[in-house]
Amino acid sequence: MRRSLLLLVLPLPLLATGCDTVSGVNIFSLQDDKDLGAQLADEIASDPATYPLLDEGQYPDAYDNLYRIRDELLATGEVDHAEDFDWELHIIDDDETLNAFCAPGGYIYVYSGLMRYLDTEDSFAGVMGHEMAHAAERHSTEQLTRIYGITTLLGLIVGKDTGIAGEVAASLLTLSFSREDEAQADEDSVYYLCQTDYAANGTAEFFEKLLAEGGTDVPEFLSTHPSSESRVADINALAKELGCDTTLNPDSDWQAVLGTLP
């Protein structure tokens, strides 16, 4: 059965104990975000069984397409820390998983299953924008601080507690962002796409497809807050309020992009 985890809103038990576990606090600098992201990227690259990354040298066209979309979002001037983070891209070769996540410091991971599930490049750009927003707003560092505590993450950053790196990397798949964080990432995606040729409500298109399918394979995050129905409404309302174009990008050929995957 296809596993659906997208947008990182599945619940994760609190794994940390101790007085340094905090909520709503982020003490890390931008460099700390980058260092932690690099540590997690190394951990992911070292575990091909869990994260079968496509080699950029073997699939340059696939990566070129994703970097093209990423660059359009970064060029809008709307993405915080567009110049501070590297915004490195990786494709995980797993057609059974609908997921994408962005580690601290802008390390973007996209599952091939998500790419194949989406019908348009506009929708993909919306989802990518949503995930980039979590990194740009530094939601991931805040949530990882809440889960693991300041001491543990600082130890990982400086290389004193690398044994926890695999667990932290795995938790990126299941971070439970707050209602406010999810709403902000949805909103940011509209601002990003509004400055491009993509439909500004591209993220809503993804939710609409999930809702239309219904059935027994509905992702678990649909039952979390905010509901997908309200997210679709909020995204569409913001795009209308801002006067953004919501027509599909006529120059994109998403099937051609998918054809570059193995």
- Rounded Cα–Cα distance for residues 102 and 118 (Å): 18
Per-residue model confidence (pLDDT) at position 82: 97
Predicted confidence (pLDDT) at residue 164 exceeds the cutoff of 60: yes
Nearest-angstrom CA–CA distance, 168 and 50: 14
Question: How confident is the prediction for the chain on average, in pLDDT?
Answer: 82
What length is written for the chain? 262
pLDDT, greater one: 41 or 121: 121
Q: Which of 40-44, 123-127, 150-154, 231-235 has the lowest mean pLDDT?
A: 150-154
Name the amino acid, one letter, at 261.
L
Q: Where are the chain's structural domains?
A: 3-177
Look at residue 66 and tell me whether its pLDDT is greater than 50.
Answer: yes
Tell me the pairing of strands 107-111 and 100-103.
antiparallel
pLDDT of residue 169: 65
Q: Is the pLDDT of residue 206 over 90?
A: no
Sheet holding 100-103, edge to edge: 89-92, 107-111, 100-103
pLDDT tens digits along 184-200 = 999 999 999 999 999 99
Which two structure tokens, joined as six digits, stand for 34? 């980058």
Which residues are CB-neighbours of 163 under 8 A, at least 6 positions away?
Answer: none
Q: Is 258 exposed, middle or buried (0-12, 13-18, 19+ CB in 10 A)?
A: middle
User: pLDDT-based confidence at 106, cuts 50/70/90?
Assistant: very high
What is the predicted pLDDT for the residue at 5? Answer: 44
Distances (CA, A) of 91 to 85, 106, 125, 242: 18, 14, 15, 32
**pLDDT of 197:** 96
Residue of 24, 41, 226 lying closest to 145 (CA atoms): 24
pLDDT at 115 over 70: yes
Query: How much is the pLDDT for 163?
Result: 67
Percent of the chain with pLDDT over 90: 52
Average pLDDT of span 39-58: 93
Phi, psi of 108 (to 5 degrees): -95, 130
More confident residue, 119 or 3: 119
The stretch 42-60 carries a mean pLDDT of 94
pLDDT surpasses 50 at 96: yes
